[in-house]
Amino acid sequence: MAAGYQYFIVSRVTTVSNMPVSAEHIRTLHKYEKDILAALERSMKRFAWVPLEQLQLLTNLSESEVNYRLSRLIEWGMVRFNPVPYDGYALVFGGYDALALATLTKKGRISALGPMLGEGKESVVYEALGLGPVAIKFHRVGGRSFSSARLNREYMPEEGHCPWLLASKCSAMREYEALTRLHPDVSVPLPIDQNRHTVVMGLICGPSLNRCRLENPVQVLDEILENTKKAYRLGIIHSDLSEFNIMMDDGKCVIIDWPQWISPDHENAEAILGRDINNILTYFKRKYNLDYPYEDALQCVTG
C-alpha cells in the first residue's frame, strides 16, 4: 500500500487528515444510503429541505429504514437535518463528495485519495491513485465565493435550493470542458474524467510560478504568452490568469484553474484578456525586473 493514501477498495485504511470525506465511510456505504444520497440529489432543485415522505417515495424504503440510514449519513457529515418548519434533510458537500467518489471508483478512475495538494477559495485538490498518480479537484463554490461567482459568471444556476452544490457542479463541468478543448495543444493538465463537482486530471508535480525562482524568466514568459495565444485561437480566455495558477513542471509551464474561462466573443473579452496579460507582465516586472511592453504581449496573443 502506498503511504499516505486512503483506499476505497481494499480493507485497510491509512488515515489522512483534512480529507473531504472518509474513505472508510465511502467504502462501507450501504446501498440504501447511496439511494438516499441520490434521492436527495434529485430533489435538491425542488426542495430546500427534503421531507422524509419524499425520501421514502423515491427510495421505496420504510420510514424506520430511512431514519436509520439518515442518522448514519448525518453522523458522517453527508446530510444535514432541519426541524423547521418540518423535518427535512439536505445534501451537503460531504454527501456530494461521497456520490462523486463512489462513481469515480466504480468507473475505475480512482482507487485511493492521498494528501491535499492545495486549497483555494473555490476548490480543494488532492493527490489520488487511478491507473497511476492523478489529481482530483473538488469544486467548492459556496460561502464567501458564491455571491461574487453568481455576479461574475454566466454559467451559474438560476434555480434550485442548493445553489452552491449546483454551482460547484457547473464549475467542474466548465473546467473539464476547457481542459478537453485545450489539451494537448495548450499546456494544461491531462483531463481524465469529471463527475458532479469533481475533476480528475493528470498530476502536476512542480510548484506554482510564485513559489519558484526561474533561471530563464524571458523564456518562461514567452511560453506563457504562447500558450495563452493557442488557447485564444481555440476559443478560450482563461479569465483568472496569474502567477498562482501557473505550475512549473520539469521546467515547463502548465496553466491550471480554468472554470472561469470565457470565449473571445464575450462582451467583456477584451478587458478580461487584457487583465490576464497585465497580471503576468506585472508579476515578471516585479519579481524579475523584466520589461515586456503590454501592446507587444497583446499582439502576440491576438495577432
Whether 196 contacts 179, CB under 8 Å = no
Domain range list for the chain: 6-95, 111-202, 209-302
| Residue, of 116 and 2, whose pLDDT is higher | 116
Q: What pLDDT, on the 0 to 100 scale, is given for residue 216?
A: 96
Over the chain, what is the mean pLDDT?
A: 89
- 142 has pLDDT over 80: no
What are the pLDDT digits (tens) for 76-113?
999 999 998 899 999 999 999 999 999 999 999 999 98
Q: What pLDDT, on the 0 to 100 scale, is given for residue 200?
A: 98
**Alpha-carbon dihedral 138, 74, 148, 195, rounded to 10 degrees:** 30
Where does the pLDDT of residue 167 fall: very low under 50, low under 70, confident under 90, or very high at 90 and above? Answer: very high
CA distance 72 to 289: 57
Angle ∠(114,198,189) on CA atoms, nearest 5:
75
What's this model's pTM, rounded to 2 decimal places?
A: 0.89
Measured CA to CA in angstroms, residue 295 lies from 222, 268, 277 at distances of 14, 18, 10
Mean pLDDT, residues 275-298 taken together? 97
Q: What pLDDT, on the 0 to 100 scale, is given for residue 17?
A: 37
Question: Which fold would CATH assign to domain 209-302?
Answer: Transferase(Phosphotransferase); domain 1 (1.10.510)
| Residue, of 198 and 16, whose pLDDT is higher | 198
CA distance 101 to 95: 10
Measured CA to CA in angstroms, residue 141 lies from 120, 144, 157, 169, 262 at distances of 10, 8, 12, 9, 18
Mean pLDDT, residues 299-303 taken together? 95
Q: What pLDDT, on the 0 to 100 scale, is given for residue 219?
A: 97
Q: Could you give the residue ranges of the DSSP H alpha helices within the chain?
A: 23-27, 31-43, 52-59, 63-75, 93-106, 146-152, 163-182, 217-233, 269-288, 294-302
**Residue 145 CB coordination number (10 Å):** 17
CA distance 177 to 207: 24
CA distance 252 to 186: 12
Q: What is the DSSP string of 32-48?
A: HHHHHHHHHHHHTTT-S
Whether 266 contacts 222, CB under 8 Å = no
261-292: burial string, b at 16+ Cβ within 10 Å, e else: bbebeeeeeeebbebbbeebbebbeeeeeeeb
Name the percent of the chain lying above pLDDT 90. 76
Mean pLDDT, residues 277-282 taken together? 98
Grid cell of 86 as nine digits: 418540518
What are the pLDDT digits (tens) for 259-277?
999 999 999 999 999 999 9
57 secondary structure, DSSP code: H
What are the pLDDT digits (tens) for 1-17?
455 666 654 322 333 33
Q: What pLDDT, on the 0 to 100 scale, is given for residue 5?
A: 66
Catalytic residues: 240
| Residue, of 248 and 153, whose pLDDT is higher | 248
- 127 has pLDDT over 50: yes
CA distance 206 to 227: 18
Q: What pLDDT, on the 0 to 100 scale, is given for residue 95?
A: 95
Q: What pLDDT, on the 0 to 100 scale, is given for residue 1?
A: 44
Q: What pLDDT, on the 0 to 100 scale, is given for residue 13?
A: 30
Where does the pLDDT of residue 234 fall: very low under 50, low under 70, confident under 90, or very high at 90 and above? Answer: very high
What are the pLDDT digits (tens) for 34-52?
999 999 999 988 898 999 9
Indicate the CATH number of 6-95 among 3.40.50.300, 3.40.50.1110, 3.40.640.10, 1.10.10.10.
1.10.10.10
CA distance 24 to 70: 17
- 146 has pLDDT over 50: no
Q: What pLDDT, on the 0 to 100 scale, is given for residue 101?
A: 93
Instruction: Please identify, in words, the CATH class of the domain defined by 111-202.
Output: alpha beta
Where does the pLDDT of residue 120 fall: very low under 50, low under 70, confident under 90, or very high at 90 and above? Answer: confident
Q: What pLDDT, on the 0 to 100 scale, is given for residue 8?
A: 56
